[in-house]
Structure 1
Amino acid sequence: MFDFFRNNIKLFMGLLMVLIIPSFVLFGIEGYSSFREGKDVVATVGKQDITRQEWDAAHQNEVERMAASMPGMDRALLDNEGTRRATLERLVDQRVLTLAAQKGMFLTSDQRLARELTQDPNIAALRKPDGTLDVERYRELLRGQGLTPEMFEANVRSDLARRQVTQGVLASSFVTEASARTALQAFFERREVQVAWFKPADFRAKVQVSDADVQQYYDQNTQAFRTQEQADVEYLVLDLDAVARNVRLNEADLRAYYEQNNTQLAQQEQRRARHILLTVAPGASAEDKAKVRAQADALLAELRQSPDRFAELAKTRSQDPGSAQRGGDLDFFARGAMVKPFEEVAFGLEKGKISDVVETEFGFHIIQVTDVRRPAPEPFEQVRAKLTAELSRQQAQRQFAEVAEDFSNLVYEQADSLQPAAQKLGLTVRKASALLRTGPQDPKADAVLANARVLSTVFGDDALRQKRNSEAIEVGANQLVSVRVVEHRPAQTQPLASVAAQVRERLVQQRAQEAARTEGRAQLAAWQAVPASATALRAPVVVSRNDTQGLPPAVVAAALSVPAGASTAAWTGADLAAEGFAVVRVNKVLAREAIDDARARQEREQLAQLWAQTEAQAFLKALRARFQAKILEKKKETAG
């Protein structure tokens, strides 16, 4: 129910989108700051420029990341003008926060960096059986993102510093209980309403449109009947999938990769354990530590005699407040979740066995493993296809640079056709019709056709005139495109004869809408003057922001906005644009239904979180002004 609250507040929705879209830490945006081919500046922050190349690279990385996390998602939904604009806004915010962090001397210590990296599941999965990081696999993971370990770690440091800029605002924000109660009561208020709806469809039959009207409308709105400039193109895409399709693997390679994966699978083993902890105060003397150790040894001896009393003794003797009440139970955990000495012992014990005394930075532990979960390896033949795809892609990553050079040379040297390059590299020449300067008209079209650099190339003077292969265009990490214009159709005004029916329909609809609005406003005035004459109103219904009773949002908003007394009805109207006009009578105001304490507490917490995000966004807006952030790229109008 409270989700509706968020969905109906534009400002809060914008803030939540910032939360939903993950940090660009893994994308190496900072690494692109020197990648400036030309000076096509789309935004500035102080004296720093953000180029179109940086924007394209950042957005492509974002699309690739989201596509990888949602394999079934249509890429056209991830790569469009709206998402591109959102990427640019985030780039500006990121640059502003970076400057603010530098001005505020916000630094990230090596310890904080290490802690952040150990919490990254992608990195945790790269641990060897002994718990150390597999450096080569770590480098390979980053290499696939175009990063070195130094670049990646610098990006993480920068991201942590940026977080500190707004953390103080987020942490210090609060909403008093009285304020929250007042706001929520008002937001969830209910109103009993009656509605009369004046729809354009009911007035269409009365509308008269003459040929002269059609001619006049056409003459006054010729721009509305211009066809957009269009191009039919052929294009060739080289990416990792294309290179992977040409990789040939032998049986020995697959078998070796299968064994390697089984080893990694074994590293995913999880253990369930319980422990008894006797803590040692930080900075304790050797004598004090020895006393605690003696207590641990005595407790261990007692457990050796009565192993079945482990849970009982953990409840009474363990000094770990998090697990003592559960008999010392720590639930299941994988490698990397516990401190090293504890982990080594826990993963070395057989199920049911009790360890010797284990010393860690927290004190002295006695550990008992109560359960073991090991992922069972799948038979080789069952996973052959999956392993083939994975290994082919890995080898494709290593070969891509060499194939990309061949691709670039072929499309340049044989510029009259893309077919020779396609045949040599095992690619398919793709085609697209009616491509606009703003991108494909079909939302399901290939995402590369919406790329700004591709569109700029297609509609460049040379491409339109010569109709030759373009140079290899880098549209993303490990993705190149060459495009050739086959046919170009300039924008032109359609003759009236071909659009007369369309013009007539527009006029009829416009006049029907106006007639509906006029009648609705007239009835509103009449019913306000003589309420008893309002016989066309529908039966009363109780509406609220989270229960609209099927009424249009504009009607509900109007009903909840008009001042209404306890004893007299209030009248208002709602312009529904293409849907006509609605007259709304508010009969009475009703308080929200009673809720339990848990629900009330949850709503107050959510409101406090939203308020904190609002303050953080206001702070960020102030920082934008302070550092003179400007977006130079104008928003594009939606085609059609």
Structure 2
Amino acid sequence: MTMLDRMRRHKNWLKWSLALVVLTFVLFYIPDFLSTTGAVGGTATTGRVARVGSRDITGNDFRNRYQLQLQAYSNAYGGNLTDQMLRQLQIEQQILQQMIEERVQLAEADRLGLSATDEEVRGRILAMPGLQENGQFIGEARYRELLRVQRPPLTPRQFEEQIRNALVLEKLRATLTGWISLTDQELQQEYRRRNEKVKLQIVSLPINGFDSQVTVPDSELTAAFESNKEKYRVAERRKIRYMLLDLETARAKATVTDAQVQAEYNRRSPEYTTQEEIRASHILLRTEGKKEEEVRATAEDVLKQARGGADFAGLAKKYSDDEANRDQGGDLDFFARGRMVPEFEDVAFKLAPGQISDLVKTQYRFHIIKITDKKAGSGKSLADVRQQLMEQLRADAAAQQLGELAQRLNGEIRTKADLERSAKSQGLTLQESGFFGRNDLVPGLGLAPGVAERAFQMGDNDVSGAVRASRGEVFFVLTGKEAAHLPKLEEVKDRVRADIVKQKAGVLAKQKATELAAALQTAPDFVKAAKAAGFETQTTELVARDSVLPTLGISPAADKVAFSLPVGGVSSPVASESAYGVIKVLERQELKADEFNSAKPTFRDEILNERRGRFFASYMERARQKIRIDVNEEAVQRAIS
């Protein structure tokens, strides 16, 4: 029996759409802190993909998280997520790092003696909006059903362990950052820094505009290289010979029938259909433990006040027993049919915006409903989405085909000769990559961090298994290693020349900007004087610090000058990464005292969260460096194939 078996059972709870609850439950209320004790949902194990200290990340744990994240991305992209997009997003690497971070944090929490009690876990579950109806727990049977229909399914024990881990991590963050505070003076200074605005005129001199005026003799090139050799040190590199199972080629060959398109449209029809929705506020008066006639009398009096012109939100705050939305004036936000009990919906969906219902009686309570907005339903026909569906089905078919082929070849390719034989049987030619660094694009493959990472783990003539890259599935043999070294000038000549040109062009740009600033500071007309000197002026809107300025981009130096000059003042040259500029302040928007005072509570929370977040990230980075982390990239690829 779980701890929730002892909760008070509700024999009758409101009926609502299970699918909607599940979606809300998965996406918003269940943090996926997977337990370290084994797989969820009974899928076959794929081994360990990583070990963080004494904690494993199993293939099943990783695959389950991966599938949940895929679903979240699919929802975000409206079902238009292609396999190529997935490869470019490198979701598997994002998830792996998230899971590693969670285990590092749990290890640090253990070290500090932090834990969560059964009572704390129980309290958190009972408070989840996705497990409540009108402020009450939905009941043990529904709770178990919601867990069962998750993908992958969860047992109460597994879910409660996830919640326990989430609570422990909250305590860890609070323990490490709770001491961080802000004085009122610091807060006001930061508010002013973020919200003061100025309107500017800017004359910009891009540094690369002076490149053509720079010459670099060979003697200078040699001297610059000899005096800065370490700057041009070449990092360790690898070279591979690879076979690419190309995703685009497979997609172009994939065929999709009309029947498949129709079936996919039918399957995804809820995505293309928007139900009618209404936004309602309500005032709820409970009858449990009270005399129903007395509650009815109170409800009728409240209804009379509402129809008499009293503020509905104010009445809800004063009279409503629904703690979930009372402080929001009874606002239930938008909802479609199937979310509320039939007695409530039958009345609500017949009302027009602004109308207030008669008393609505449901089990153990009275409602007064006011409709505040309404959205008509809409839908897309098969013709509207046919091309989109065909592209998605082709991409899915290609990905499935490549995945199956890669899995089969994984069992066949063990040696360099096997790789050559497989390439020939597939009608493919092995390609040479050229040397690349651990964090470089792989020549010929582009974005392929899994390939680069695997290459740096392999020995001479080792053969990889299938590794996913943005272009498809890759098999390769390591053909070369290059140790980190100081290069000869010829290897980095273009880099050295580019650095010298940029430095000299910067000097020329600064000199010209200095001359221009002197002229503009005394000119009666800033714009005309700039134009006479051959430069155009750009005018901004009111901008805050850290804004992107024309040509200058984000420039702390420009911010410092712009916010220190008086209105009408013209600056000396200001530098950014790529340009010099001269700035004139046209207008300044000062802050009002009442503006800061009204924003103060929310702004304090925002700044505190930022500072605490930075400290926590820095602390955990140091903690991570003290823990051994081993990653099996092949197991990662197997888990998602």
Taking structure 1 as the reference length, what is the TM-score of the superposition? 0.56
Distance 1:617 1:214, change over 3 A: closer
1:142 aligns with 2:152: yes
- In structure 1, how many angstroms separate the alpha carbons of the residues matched to 2:242 and 2:349? 63
Is the CA contact 1:359–1:365 (under 8 Å) kept in the aligned structure 2? no
1:486-497 superposed matches below 5 A: 488=480, 490=482, 496=489
Counterpart for residue 231 of structure 1: 239
Matches within 5 A, 1:193-272: 210-220=217-227, 224=232, 229-235=237-243, 270=277
Cα separation, partners in 2 of 1:198 and 1:380, compared to 1, 3 Å: closer
Alignment of 1:312 with 2:307, yes or no, is yes
Corresponding residue number in structure 2 for 1:333 = 335
Residue correspondence of structure 1 range 352-501 to structure 2 within 5 A: 352=350, 357-360=361-364, 363-365=365-367, 406-412=408-414, 416-417=418-419, 420=422, 433-434=433-434, 436-441=436-441, 447=447, 449-451=448-450, 454-462=451-459, 464-465=460-461, 468=463, 470-472=464-466, 482-485=474-477, 488=480, 490=482, 496=489
Structure 1 pair 403–227 and aligned structure 2 pair: CA distance change class (3 A): closer
Of the structure 1 ranges 204-213 and 156-165, higher mean CA displacement relative to structure 2 is found in 204-213
3-state SS, counterpart of residue 366 of structure 2: strand
Amino acid in structure 2 at the alignment position of 1:163: E
User: Where do 1:44-55 residues align within 5 Å?
Assistant: none
CA contact (8 A) 2:277 2:376 kept: yes
Q: Distance in 2 between matches of 1:390 and 1:199?
A: 44
**What percent of counterpart residues are identical?**
17
Query: CA offset at residue 433 of structure 1?
Result: 3.4
1:103, CA displacement in angstroms? 1.3
* CA deviation vs aligned residue, 1:404-446 (integer Å, no higher than 9, x gap): 764532334996237759989xx99996834623244379956
Find the aligned partners of 1:258 and 1:522 in 2 and give their Cα distance. Answer: 65
What amino acid sits opposite 2:152 in the alignment? L
SS for the counterpart of 2:433 is strand
Cα separation, 1, equivalents of 2:147 and 2:300 = 44
Go from structure 1 to structure 2 and tell me whether the alpha carbon gap of 1:91 and 1:66 turns closer, same or farther (over 3 Å shift).
same
Equivalent residues of 1:170, 1:616 under 8 A apart: yes
- Secondary structure of residue in 2 paired with 1:465: coil
Q: What's the TM-score once normalised by structure 2's chain length?
A: 0.56
Establish whether residue 620 from structure 1 lines up as the match of residue 620 from structure 2: no
- Answer whether contact 1:235 1:483 (CA < 8 A) is retained: yes
Contact 1:170–1:612, Cα closer than 8 Å, also in 2: no
Amino acid at match of 1:471: G
1:554-569 → structure 2 map (5 Å cutoff): 554-559=556-561
| Gap runs ≥5 in structure 1 | 1-21, 121-126, 304-308, 634-640
Aligned pairs for 1:181-192 within 5 A: 181-185=188-192
C-alpha separation in 2, matches of 1:443 and 1:119: 51
Instruction: Give the conservation status (yes or no) of the 8 Å contact 2:211–2:505.
Output: yes
CA separation in 1, counterparts of 2:544 and 2:394? 56
Specify every segment of 5 or more residues in structure 2 that has no aligned partner in the other structure, as ranges: 1-26, 40-44, 133-137, 351-356, 528-538, 630-641
Q: CA 1:183–1:379 in structure 2 vs 1: closer, same or farther (change >3 Å)? A: closer
Structure 2 Cα separation of the partners of residues 188 and 370 of structure 1: 34
Cα distance change of structure 1 residues 489 and 590 upon mapping to structure 2, 3 Å threshold? same
Aligned residue among 604, 607, 624 for 1:608: 604
**Cα offset, 1:613, TM superposition:** 0.8
Query: Residues 251-288 of structure 1, C-alpha deviation per residue, up to 9 Å, x if partnerless?
Result: 69976x877767999996756778674434x7x3xxx4
Is the Cα contact below 8 Å between 2:360 and 2:366 reproduced in 1? no
CA distance in structure 2 between the partners assigned to 1:380 and 1:203 by the alignment: 57
The AA in structure 2 aligned to 1:103 is L
SS at match of 1:416: helix
Distance 2:575 2:384 in 1: 62
Once residues 354 and 258 of structure 1 are traced to their aligned partners in structure 2, the CA distance between those partners, rounded to angstroms, is 42
Q: What is the rounded CA distance, in whole Å, between the counterparts of 2:278 and 2:519 in structure 1?
A: 76
RMSD: 7.2
Mapped contact 1:55–1:91 kept (Cα < 8 A): no
Cα distance, 1:59–1:174 mapped onto 2, change above 3 Å = same
Conservation of the 8 A alpha-carbon contact between 2:279 and 2:371:
yes
Give 2:449's aligned amino acid: A
Cα deviation, residue 95, structure 1: 3.1
1:555 is aligned with what amino acid? A
Amino acid in structure 2 at the alignment position of 1:357:
K
For 2:402 and 2:126, the matched residues in 1 are separated by 32
Partner of 2:125 in structure 1? 113
Q: How big is each residue's C-alpha offset from its partner over 1:80-138, in whole Å with a ceiling of 9 and x where there is no partner?
A: 99979985895477436754896154664345325537279xxxxxx9xx999876982
Deviation at residue 536 of structure 1 after TM alignment = 10
Q: Is the 8 A contact 2:277 2:334 kept in 1?
A: yes
1:552-579 alpha-carbon deviations (Å, 9 max, x no partner): 41432452698x9x99x99988665665
1:275–1:578 distance in 2 versus 1, CA, 3 Å: closer
SS at match of 1:411: coil
